[in-house]
């Protein structure tokens, strides 16, 4: 954790000129009449970890799919490492994405899948081999690397998905439930790999329902509810009650901010 705080900013810089890794203004996605993401404004400094929380259906995956260019926004703008989403070829070089279900070719072996992704990123062969072998070793997959992916467990697929998301050393890494399906030891290794990436100045945008993971890693937490950002701050900001200074757990804070807003939505009060 780098202990940076949330910021306001514009044009890829925050007010003190620190470059922003992710900036959105009024980012919105509608599916028919349903507004899945509603006017999202984010300013995330480079090299920080942003924990993106929210109840089921809040719009987290939709947000990540927009920010990784897989889904066109209905309205609003966003930049990744200073490049607008509309410049897709440049933006995709700057980002890596581990979705909840990693896209893998079942007929390939683990090593073949990773070599193919390295080829798509135009990595020189020697660099690709060095990175693939080092990450396979780090994630304890080397012995299984020549088996078809169809024979891999969920956790093993998750680890291959993480490797392929970071192979080209993206400036910004989007992770959707990165420890899903992993045993405690594998989850620990994945969190350690993420921490190492952050030490190397990778910005991580992390969505998970496992609050201890965000509590451990995130500099800033944003809570999305029904498509809107209803709370944002450091883990300390969220767990300290503004009125009394009294401490609460992150789980209590999450339940309170999402319940407040559920009540406000049904009574018509503004959040
Ligand atoms: N392709 C789609 N067509 C129609 N509605 C969609 C589509 N994708 C998502 N939605 C709707 O948008 C809302 C947000 O979904 P999203 O998957 O972004 O939520 P989430 O916060 O990632 O949820 P979870 O924590 O359950 O993964 C939901 O109401 C969902 O039904």
Per-residue confidence (pLDDT) for residue 6, from 0 to 100: 40
Atom of ligand 1 nearest to the CA of 177: 27
Taking only the tens place, the pLDDT of each residue in 97-112 is: 999 999 999 999 999 9
Write the residue with the smallest CA distance to atom 25 of ligand 1: 56
Q: Is 53 in the pocket of ligand 1 (CB under 6 A)?
A: no
Query: Which residues in the chain show pLDDT less than 50?
Result: 1-11, 267-271
Ligand 1 atom with the shortest distance to the CA of 59: 18
pLDDT value for 2:
43
Homologous superfamily in CATH for domain 9-267: P-loop containing nucleotide triphosphate hydrolases (3.40.50.300)
Please report the pLDDT score of residue 169 as a whole number. 94
Residue at token pair 């757990």: 249
Q: What's the gap in Å between 124 CA and the centre of ligand 1?
A: 38
Q: Which residues pair with 25 in a beta bridge?
A: 77
Q: What share of the chain is helix, strand, coil (3-state, %, to 5)?
A: 40, 25, 35
Residue 226 CA, ligand 1 centroid: distance in Å: 10
pTM of the model: 0.89
Instruction: Decide: 60 in ligand 1 pocket, CB within 6 A.
Output: yes
Q: Around Cβ 159, how many Cβ atoms within 10 Å?
A: 28
Q: Is 266 helix (H, G, I), strand (E, B) or coil?
A: helix
Comparing CA positions, the residue from 232, 176, 226, 181 lying closest to residue 205 is 176
Task: Provide the residue ranges of all domains of the chain, joining segments of one domain with +.
Answer: 9-267
Give residue 230's pLDDT.
94
Give 253-268 pLDDT, tens digit per residue: 889 888 866 655 554 4
Q: Does the Cβ of 62 fall within 6 Å of ligand 1?
A: yes
- Cα of 60 from ligand 1 centre, angstroms: 8
Distance CA 15, CA 32 (A): 37
Query: Could you identify the atom of ligand 1 that is nearest to the CA of residue 224?
Result: 21
Distance CA 260, CA 262 (A): 6
Mutation probe of ligand 1 site: the residue of 53, 61, 100 with most atoms within 8 A of C-beta: 61
The ipTM of this complex is 0.97
Instruction: Check if 59 has its Cβ closer than 6 Å to any atom of ligand 1.
Output: yes
Residue nearest to atom 5 of ligand 1 (CA): 31
The pLDDT score that the predictor gives to residue 15 is: 54
Q: Whose alpha carbon is nearest atom 12 of ligand 1?
A: 36
Helix and strand numbers (H, E) in the chain are 9, 12
């Amino acid at each position: 954790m780098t202990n940076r705080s949330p910021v306001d900013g514009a044009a890829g810089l925050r007010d003190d000129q620190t470059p922003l890794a992710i900036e959105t203004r009024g980012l919105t996605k509608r599916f028919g009449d349903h507004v899945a993401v509603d006017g999202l404004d984010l300013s995330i400094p480079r090299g920080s970890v942003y924990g993106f929380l929210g109840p089921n259906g809040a719009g987290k995956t939709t947000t990540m799919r927009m920010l990784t260019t897989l889904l066109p926004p209905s309205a609003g703008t966003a930049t990744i490492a200073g490049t607008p989403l509309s410049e897709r070829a440049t933006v995709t070089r700057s980002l890596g994405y581990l979705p909840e279900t990693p896209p893998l070719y079942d007929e390939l072996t683990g090593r073949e899948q990773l070599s193919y992704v390295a080829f798509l990123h135009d990595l020189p062969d020697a660099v690709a081999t060095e990175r693939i072998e080092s990450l396979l070793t780090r994630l304890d997959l080397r012995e299984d690397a020549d088996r078809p992916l169809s024979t891999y467990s969920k956790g093993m697929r998750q680890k291959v998905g993480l490797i392929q998301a970071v192979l080209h050393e993206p400036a910004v890494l989007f992770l959707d439930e990165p420890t899903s399906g992993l045993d405690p030891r594998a989850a620990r290794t994945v969190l350690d790999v993420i921490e190492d990436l952050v030490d190397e100045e990778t910005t991580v945008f992390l969505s998970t329902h496992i609050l201890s993971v965000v509590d451990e890693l995130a500099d800033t937490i944003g809570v999305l509810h029904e498509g809107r950002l209803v709370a944002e701050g450091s883990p300390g900001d969220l767990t300290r009650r503004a009125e009394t200074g009294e401490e609460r757990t992150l789980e209590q804070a999450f339940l309170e901010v999402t319940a407040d807003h559920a009540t406000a939505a049904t009574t018509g009060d503004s959040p």
